[in-house]
Structure 1
Amino acid sequence: MPLHGHAAPGGPAGALLPALGLLLAAVAYLLLAHRARRRNPAQGWRRRRAVSFLSGLALLAVALLPPLAPFAHADFRGHMAQHLLIGMYAPLALVLAAPVTLLLRVLPAQRARQLTMVLHTRPARVLAHPVVALPLSTGSLAVLYFTPLYNATMGIPAGHWLLHAHFLLSGCLFAHAVAGPDPAPARPGVRARLVCLGVAIAAHAVISQLMYGGFLVDIHAPVDQVRGGAEIMYYGGDLAELLLAVALVATWRPAPRPRTTATEPVPPAGTSLPAGGAS
């Protein structure tokens, strides 16, 4: 049995299915990018977007395939490295690839309008707000590691994969809310997003320090593994959030200033226009 009670992957399918899913995602994105270039050669699709998406998939492959995946089942430090790759590093690379914008480029006009309408619905606007994305991504870590939830989910394969899905989706949501290039109608200004990012950094630091000290944590693993996992969370999380801050600065665009037109000076109140000044 693994050292801290993880369920072992389900045979060869445990590696085959993730690899196949990642390969299909890569092929789909590249085909859509090729279609976008053919539809509008002048505008095209930036190669760095495709490189970013493929990099995100590569990070997911490192996390979900051997040798890291079996190690994560046997050692909490491997689990934490896997968590950072799935929940922080890969989501940033995937979000910077602007997959929603790519879809809007290649979909027929009617489908693109429907997708835009979905993005403007109230549930989508609420989910895409960083104040909501923050507790879903960072806040859920306290629930996971300070309650019996971690041990329960890692005891069965279904819980293990659901945990991965949560890490990936919530990480993508937070990265999109803070620095995503895709449309986000409810996204607040840069200052508000920096505040949310600062709260995430502080929360990661507090959780990792409590974990290192053994306070409040409910993790069935040797102490050295828990402390090692806390260090990975502390330093690896700082680096991921620094990259997210860089992405925020890189994708930020100042709001365009309203155009002003030259007009005749307005005379003070109580004065009359000179003769011939009005037609």
Structure 2
Amino acid sequence: MDHGTHPAHHNAGDSGLLEVLLPALVAAACAGLYLLLAHRARRRNPVRGWSPWRTASFTTGLALLAVAFLPPVGTVAHTDFRGHMAQHMLIGMYAPLALVLGAPVTLLLRSLPAARGRRLSAVAHSRPARSLTQPAVALLLSTGSLVALYFTPLYNASAAHPYGHWLLHAHFLLTGCLFAHVIAGPDPGPARRSVRTRLICLGCAIALHSVVSQLMYGGFGTDIHVPVDEVQGGAQIMYYGGDIAELLLAAALVATWRPGRSRLGAVRATPSPRSARV
């Protein structure tokens, strides 16, 4: 950590228009596609329909992404590390949870023809999907990557180049969605781990966030070339903002947990004495 200028100061104006227009266009396109698929799902099955809460959750996630990329947050993120951290929280934690709870894969499966739906379902249950959705893998890719980002020259290198900034945003969003899906996602996928395992994984994420933010606040081992007060402010945003996001994720896990279904499945899977004799 030093008292130098923010690495992105020199390039903030180079892609300013692209940084504003592209996220807005992508968010609008995703919202339009989701609403179209939701309308198609309701038309195909008026009785089952599609939950308006799912729609509200997904559009809220897109709105949070828009807030993260557009001014004032998107502008401040280029010139102040505290703005970068606020943007990180929105892109990597808050927006992914809302997007995942919108169940976009389930909506797509309901809207696709049967043959394409089966292919998509096969991909969701494939071996790579099983590997990625292991809680330890999701934890390492999302929360564990913070160590590599802030305790090596990686952050300074990415912040100094516009393409590095975009790659960083993509990493935050994709790994955040992966972690939210593993912990509390409603979409189909490989066999989900037990609630205890997922709670342990979430607890590890909370602990790691806390340790990283406290080390960052104290300036122990971090490699972030910005003024000290910005680093400390960013560490506080990570500490408190991360706690709130992870509490919301825990609440989503509890809300989507259906212990009665597991017990019912176990009862159905247990052969009756009569069938055992046969």
Question: Common fold, TM-score beyond 0.5?
Answer: yes
Counting matched residue pairs gives 265
| Structure 1 unaligned blocks of 5 or more | 267-279
Give the structure 1 partner of residue 182 of structure 2: 177
1:5 equivalenced with 2:7 (yes/no): yes
Give the structure 1 partner of residue 226 of structure 2: 221
1:139 equivalenced with 2:144 (yes/no): yes
Between Structure 1 and Structure 2, the one with more helix by share is 2
1:194 equivalenced with 2:199 (yes/no): yes
1:258 equivalenced with 2:267 (yes/no): yes
TM-score, normalised via structure 2 length:
0.92
Larger radius of gyration: 1
Contact 1:177–1:184 (Cα < 8 Å) also in 2: no
- C-alpha distance in 2 between matches for 1:237 and 1:131: 19
1:153 equivalenced with 2:155 (yes/no): no
Give the structure 2 partner of residue 208 of structure 1: 213
When structure 1 is superposed on structure 2, of 13-22 and 164-173 the one drifting more is: 13-22
Aligned match of 1:111 in 109, 116, 120? 116
Aligned amino acid, residue 7 of structure 2: G
Mark the CA change 1:175 to 1:262 in structure 2 (over 3 Å): closer, same or farther: closer
Matched position secondary structure for 1:169: helix
Root-mean-square deviation (CA), in Å?
1.7
Matched position secondary structure for 1:12: helix
Higher RCO (C-alpha under 8 Å, 6+ residues apart):
2
Q: Please give the per-residue CA displacement for 1:88-141, whole angstroms capped at 9, x wherever unaligned.
A: 000000000000100110110000000111111110111112111000000000
Q: Percent identity?
A: 68
Matched position secondary structure for 2:49: coil
- C-alpha distance in 2 between matches for 1:209 and 1:135: 19
Q: Please give the per-residue CA displacement for 1:143-197, whole angstroms capped at 9, x wherever unaligned.
A: 0000000000000100001000000000000000000001121321000000000
- C-alpha distance in 2 between matches for 1:84 and 1:164: 11
Mark the CA change 1:261 to 1:176 in structure 2 (over 3 Å): closer, same or farther: closer
Runs (4 or more) in structure 1 with deviation over 2 Å come to: 259-264
- C-alpha distance in 2 between matches for 1:129 and 1:178: 10
Give the structure 2 partner of residue 168 of structure 1: 173
Give the structure 2 partner of residue 269 of structure 1: none
Contact 2:100–2:177 (Cα < 8 Å) also in 1: yes
Mark the CA change 1:102 to 1:44 in structure 2 (over 3 Å): closer, same or farther: same
Give the structure 2 partner of residue 87 of structure 1: 92
Aligned amino acid, residue 258 of structure 1: V
Aligned amino acid, residue 5 of structure 1: P
Contact 2:213–2:239 (Cα < 8 Å) also in 1: yes
Give the structure 1 partner of residue 44 of structure 2: 39
- C-alpha distance in 2 between matches for 1:37 and 1:213: 53
- Shift of residue 261, structure 1, vs aligned partner: 8.3
Q: In the TM superposition, what are the counterparts of 1:53-72 in structure 2 within 5 Å?
A: 53-72=58-77
- Shift of residue 3, structure 1, vs aligned partner: 3.4
Give the structure 1 partner of residue 107 of structure 2: 102
Contact 1:133–1:173 (Cα < 8 Å) also in 2: yes
Contact 2:129–2:189 (Cα < 8 Å) also in 1: no
- C-alpha distance in 2 between matches for 1:253 and 1:132: 24
- C-alpha distance in 2 between matches for 1:192 and 1:14: 39
Matched position secondary structure for 1:215: coil
